Structure 1
């Protein structure tokens, strides 16, 4: 007797959904262009430059030789002092604009943002024109026999960084000061605390998360910056300048010492971040968003002092930009200023440097286009698909904030210089590094606006039969368009001003405006450097205007 076995239809292979495919693609992109370069830097740092043996010899050399340890201490000192200097400027300014009626407060905030988005090496170059050995201010006081302090060395670098990075602390702290419950301050006043005691013991601890976040950003940016120490250092070596020098000296071989120094820079950044998080974890800072502070008018005398302080700070910070703009219109004869005004410098850059101008805009625009697409997709995954993968993606996007540009560039060279992925010396490698380094700006902007959009709108489209891809393209993207544009503008501002990574990767065919400005300053071509810098600042200013126009919180969009 035979028996038959009934079996159902064979199970069909089910294709992964749209968002699963997108998640896999995004994870692959981050793995290739973010994790792999950093891993390459990490692995290479353990191979001895001379013998090729695996070990800690490079780290021993960096941590024991005086040349490297001096640069290490210089880096930490500059980063720490710059952070303190920025705090001493940003916190009082934030307190004044958040607690007192300041006429023209919008101007103060706008100037602060313009300072924030202009490249710091332009400021360094401008301070040389003002306070250098033959600077305008130096010569003016020299006519009266007065010798002013030198702008070169650690003091000059710290001063430039303090005036450059204080807006991070100012903008974050002002936002926090505007939302704390003033009942705590009132209680302290009733207990007999004077104004300083109230601020130091009550107000400052309440806004410590904002202050510390801004301070950490200042510290990380200061230790990662290459252009300012290179221009103002005059013999003062930092880890970033040594890493670049080591890379150029090891060009053609494996840049072991350069990547070892790079890993040390990453370690310092991570240590600073972990220290901040540890301090914050030991206390609680939450307060009810009620009984918010009210701005009050000051008596005439105090009002004049407060207004003078606010306007004086932002004017001093903007002085380099004004100087660069003014210098760009001075008549020149070759590299020498010949007296009077003219458009000679602009004519020279249009005649001699069209490639750098075209490259800067082309590379930045292509990178921003890719950032806009990726940030829209990533923000949807992070906000709408709350799982371990989306959380990991969100965490990974913090990494570009912590990795100095010169470190990432060395990682790109180490990773993508071998066939079949040899793209060193091409425009593609610059576009890719701009994309991966500036992607967090786009994601942050789109994520914040997507959190304000109710998912029920998208769910309604799905219930009506629209596919996930169509729903995203026709419903979600139009709703998050302001965030996409703001993110694109922020990405463009930072991408077109990028120096530290492009300085490692550029060739004669792929040179960009920031690199050319740096080269021109080093060569003493201040007229053309000023014209190129002015072009960058105008482009940046237009983007700032667009962001202000589209963003509800205006200057808060930049932090």
Structure 2
């Protein structure tokens, strides 16, 4: 009897493991391998060649793009650290009024699409931006937002919450004895911070910095909107793909592989640095927040609140602009709802597609997150270890790379039967699946397996035990992971731009095209709608998540 139950259990989870392995192989490994192999193909002869890489590393067009990508990526990461580390230290070490408000605003900045921030900065500091015009009326001339400095500004203000939230969590867990000992030995506050506190939280800082760097070099919308001739690898890959339509996109995939290689090298470098030293400390004698007085109290409060408010400024500008009165693409003064009325006339399809594709992807994410998480946590097999490793891959692969891989894999040959809509759903699913898996895995690790084993011992089939016992217990993790997947899927731009057709346009693509056409009112209204959906999801995540800060990083 017990042997029969064991056989049924093995059969069910063995079958689930096989299905998941096939799905990951087809939707994740195969597209990446396809991109990698195409980078060694001669577009004219179809033969093997290293010429694509030779051209990328010798032709100025590509070399400059590589330099530009590394420059804005590194500078944006540095800027994020310069904002995030002091903010984390102040909120972790001192009594700051509105501390929860600061964390909430930082999270809202984190989940808002970066291309919306780029568009908002054009409204403020573009050639005809209201801040530019105001300063010119005072006789002050400033450079416009276009170019490398604008891209770095957007990256800094967009990605600093990663550094802030992760460093704040680490600072709250530092053993206070180390800092007290340094103070007793005569160290100044700056020496204590630089020599004791900073090394202890370096793993968190470096992890946040790596996330910033990887996202910055993969970002397409910001350099595409603000670049004005300043090209990065993401915009070069997109342009190369569009120019190679009808043939093999060899140069596009070669550039894409280089982007992915940079991300992986950055991660390996961080792990190598961390492996050289020990950073552990006991979770005892935790720090106590101090109360500041006088000008220091005022300065710290101003610094903290000003940082998050400036970062939120693009979002506020977008919402405000959406209510300005327009006549077509022209703002005519006063307030009105013309921009929202234009949405329903000109972009209803984009709204419908965004929700349909994202919800369909989230359904898949929810189902497979539960199955994959169970296999990773409960079944110690080679497959579970492989699944856990593969869940890191979508984080490192830029959207342009995955989209090109999907196009080259599923538009011809054995898998050519997929429609454009289906490809977008599958792309969103595989790219956002790690959010669901990580969140659900975290919940499942807190549940003792004895309850599931009891259900099986009482005669419940493995599937029934999983559905009746395990799933209800991991619902919070499933909800949080699925909502995070929805937030990022509905805001996807770079991958959608590669795949979409006229009938499958989404809100991010519509916003991007509206900005390029100077339709700022329409772009603002659509952006506000997108931000509203994102904000609603964030609110629900807050209600379900035990630790809202860690959930979003």
C-alpha distance in structure 2 between counterparts of 1:16 and 1:498, whole Å: 38
- The one of 155, 159, 173 aligned to 2:153: 159
C-alpha distance in structure 2 between counterparts of 1:149 and 1:249, whole Å: 32
Which residue of structure 2 aligns with residue 10 of structure 1?
none
Which residue of structure 2 aligns with residue 221 of structure 1?
215
C-alpha distance in structure 1 between counterparts of 2:299 and 2:504, whole Å: 49
Verify: 1:271 aligned to 2:265, yes or no: yes
Which residue of structure 2 aligns with residue 148 of structure 1?
142
Which residue of structure 2 aligns with residue 238 of structure 1?
232
The answer (yes or no) to whether the contact 1:441–1:487 under 8 Å persists in 2 is: yes
Deviation at 1:424, TM superposition (A): 6.1
Which residue of structure 2 aligns with residue 65 of structure 1?
59
Give the number of equivalent residue pairs.
547
C-alpha distance in structure 2 between counterparts of 1:388 and 1:199, whole Å: 43
Which residue of structure 1 aligns with residue 3 of structure 2?
none
C-alpha distance in structure 1 between counterparts of 2:141 and 2:418, whole Å: 48
C-alpha distance in structure 1 between counterparts of 2:427 and 2:534, whole Å: 20
Q: TM-score, normalised by structure 2?
A: 0.98
Which residue of structure 2 aligns with residue 5 of structure 1?
none
Deviation at 1:300, TM superposition (A): 2.8
Per-residue CA deviations over 1:56-88 (Å, capped at 9, x if unaligned) read: 010000000011000000001111111100000
- The one of 277, 280, 303 aligned to 1:283: 277
C-alpha distance in structure 2 between counterparts of 1:384 and 1:421, whole Å: 33
Deviation at 1:268, TM superposition (A): 0.5
C-alpha distance in structure 2 between counterparts of 1:98 and 1:459, whole Å: 42
C-alpha distance in structure 1 between counterparts of 2:87 and 2:419, whole Å: 45
C-alpha distance in structure 1 between counterparts of 2:212 and 2:350, whole Å: 29
C-alpha distance in structure 2 between counterparts of 1:193 and 1:18, whole Å: 62
Which residue of structure 2 aligns with residue 107 of structure 1?
101
C-alpha distance in structure 1 between counterparts of 2:479 and 2:160, whole Å: 26
Describe how 1:38-57 pairs up with structure 2 within 5 A: 38-57=32-51
- The one of 410, 416, 422 aligned to 1:428: 422
Verify: 1:502 aligned to 2:496, yes or no: yes
Describe how 1:172-251 pairs up with structure 2 within 5 A: 172-251=166-245
C-alpha distance in structure 1 between counterparts of 2:550 and 2:58, whole Å: 44
Per-residue CA deviations over 1:443-472 (Å, capped at 9, x if unaligned) read: 010011111111111111111111111111
- The one of 95, 116, 122 aligned to 2:116: 122
Verify: 1:23 aligned to 2:23, yes or no: no
C-alpha distance in structure 1 between counterparts of 2:381 and 2:187, whole Å: 48
Which residue of structure 1 aligns with residue 4 of structure 2?
none
Which residue of structure 1 aligns with residue 308 of structure 2?
314
Deviation at 1:14, TM superposition (A): 9.0
Deviation at 1:15, TM superposition (A): 9.9
Verify: 1:478 aligned to 2:475, yes or no: no
The answer (yes or no) to whether the contact 1:424–1:505 under 8 Å persists in 2 is: no
Verify: 1:387 aligned to 2:377, yes or no: no
- The one of 60, 65, 68 aligned to 1:74: 68
Q: For 2:503, what is the secondary structure of its paired residue? A: coil
C-alpha distance in structure 1 between counterparts of 2:371 and 2:340, whole Å: 41
Deviation at 1:509, TM superposition (A): 0.4
- The one of 252, 263, 270 aligned to 1:258: 252
The answer (yes or no) to whether the contact 1:131–1:150 under 8 Å persists in 2 is: yes
The answer (yes or no) to whether the contact 2:9–2:461 under 8 Å persists in 1 is: no
C-alpha distance in structure 2 between counterparts of 1:323 and 1:423, whole Å: 43
Unaligned ranges ≥5, structure 1: 1-12
Q: For 2:501, what is the secondary structure of its paired residue? A: coil
The answer (yes or no) to whether the contact 2:174–2:200 under 8 Å persists in 1 is: yes
Verify: 1:85 aligned to 2:61, yes or no: no
The answer (yes or no) to whether the contact 1:398–1:440 under 8 Å persists in 2 is: yes
- The one of 450, 454, 458 aligned to 2:448: 454
C-alpha distance in structure 2 between counterparts of 1:474 and 1:16, whole Å: 18
Verify: 1:325 aligned to 2:319, yes or no: yes
Larger radius of gyration: 1
Verify: 1:37 aligned to 2:12, yes or no: no
Pick which of 135-144 and 300-309 moved more. Answer: 300-309
- The one of 331, 334, 340 aligned to 2:328: 334
Q: For 1:337, what is the secondary structure of its paired residue? A: strand
- The one of 348, 353, 358 aligned to 1:359: 353
Q: For 2:225, what is the secondary structure of its paired residue? A: helix
Describe how 1:407-422 pairs up with structure 2 within 5 A: 407-422=401-416
Per-residue CA deviations over 1:32-59 (Å, capped at 9, x if unaligned) read: 0000000000000001122322020100
Deviation at 1:378, TM superposition (A): 0.5
Q: For 1:93, what is the secondary structure of its paired residue? A: helix
Pick which of 141-150 and 269-278 moved more. Answer: 141-150
Deviation at 1:423, TM superposition (A): 4.7
Deviation at 1:421, TM superposition (A): 1.9
Pick which of 38-47 and 465-474 moved more. Answer: 465-474
**RMSD, aligned CA:** 1.1
C-alpha distance in structure 1 between counterparts of 2:25 and 2:8, whole Å: 26
C-alpha distance in structure 1 between counterparts of 2:317 and 2:467, whole Å: 46
Unaligned ranges ≥5, structure 2: 1-6
